[in-house]
Structure 1
Amino acid sequence: MMAQDTTALRVAGSTAASGSAAAVERRANIFGMTQQAEVAVLRPRDCGRWPHGLRAAMAARIAALNGEPELAGHYRTDAGDYAALADPSVDGSGQGLAEVMAFMDKVAVETRDVSAPDIASLQAAGIGDADIVRLCELNAFLAYQLRVIAGLRVLNEVYA
């Protein structure tokens, strides 16, 4: 068993026998903190306008947009009533979240193109600054997690 049982390790296929095992063991604290960050972003004490199910759907959507169906499936299981939003082809207008989904999609796949007008469109839709920050935190965590998973897979292949 790995030093830490985390979403990133499971999705990357890291086991005690995988190529990444030694690196994971040496950095067990980092994987523990990564899992704590996941919990903090998906289930914060103060969720603002974004309840856990919606956050899970957005996380699944970001994972899907980045070609990670297993990670998307992991998050989709907690999406509840918001599960439809995990599908990037759903624009969110049926849930009154079109501006939010458009923003999350753009941040997830066109990060360098995000600019002040994107934030202004959220504000015009009545989204407060604290809730905009919460959206950005979720997207930033997923970007980090997706890169950790990709790196672990490379280690698994290189050191197989």
Structure 2
Amino acid sequence: MSLPATTALDGVTIAPSSALAEAIGARDAIFAMTRTAEEAVLRPAETGAWSHALRHALAARIAARNGLPDLAARHAEGAGEHAGLADPGHLPDGDLRIVLAFMDVVAAHPRDVTAAAVAGLQGAGIADADIVRLAELNAFMAYHCRLIAGLRLLAGDSA
């Protein structure tokens, strides 16, 4: 059985004749929707304040925070001049500091996100539409990281 081409399956060892491969094959539409969502979040036609490269850096940072170094490396490849931001231990000075701090809290401790955090972004001059774009990126990456971890667990890989 051939598996769908998607980053969700990259790095997951799945035996072609396994029950997991069969289950994935039967859910090709879900993986197609995942690919579509990934494109929409990481490479949208309308980027707002967040370039494709910066989006990849943020995605790499979120993947690293979720213990998925291979996914982090994959996204870091598309981060270009923003590759240094992929390191969760790096909080630069300047305009991106508040964005990274916000993304880190949303990625690691979503319950701790408060209206004050959003107000901080607004106070830094970030438009509401761009705050929504950050939330969309974080939501997709949360789903993607959990999907990959789940697939690895089902495949018997260490996650």
TM over 0.5, yes or no? yes
> In the TM superposition, what whole-angstrom CA distance separates every residue of 1:124-147 from its partner, at most 9, and x where no partner exists?
110010000000000000000011
Question: Is 1:132 equivalent to 2:93 in the alignment?
Answer: no
2:102 aligned residue: 103
Structure 1: distance between partners of 2:56 and 2:19? 30
Q: 2-side partners of 1:16 and 1:72: how far apart?
A: 26
Q: Quick one: percent identity of the two aligned structures? A: 54
- For residues 36-77 of structure 1, what are the alpha-carbon distances to aligned partners after superposition, in whole Å with 9 as ceiling and x for unaligned? 110110001110000000000000000001111010001000
Is contact 1:63-1:146 (8 Å) kept? Answer: yes
1:114 is aligned with what amino acid? V
- Which runs of 5 or more residues in structure 1 are unaligned? none
Change (3 A) 1:140 1:69: same
Q: Return the letter of the residue paired with 1:108.
A: A
1:118 maps to which residue? 117
Q: CA deviation at 1:155?
A: 1.5
Runs of 4+ with >4 A deviation: none
Q: 1:54 touches 1:79 (CA, 8 Å); kept in 2?
A: yes
Q: Give the Cα–Cα distance (whole angstroms) in 2 for the partners of residues 110 and 87 of structure 1.
A: 17
Number of corresponding residues? 157
Task: Point out where structure 2 has 5 or more consecutive residues left out of the alignment.
Answer: none
TM-score w.r.t. structure 1 length? 0.92
CA distance in 1 between counterparts of 2:8 and 2:83 reads 21
Q: Output the amino acid matched with 1:135.
A: L
What does residue range 1-160 of structure 1 map to in structure 2 within 5 Å? 2-14=2-14, 16-17=16-17, 20-94=20-94, 96-157=95-156
Shift of 1:88: 1.0
Q: Which protein has the bigger helix share?
A: 1
Distance 2:125 2:14 in 1: 42
Which structure ranks higher in relative contact order (CA pairs < 8 Å, sequence separation ≥ 6)? 1
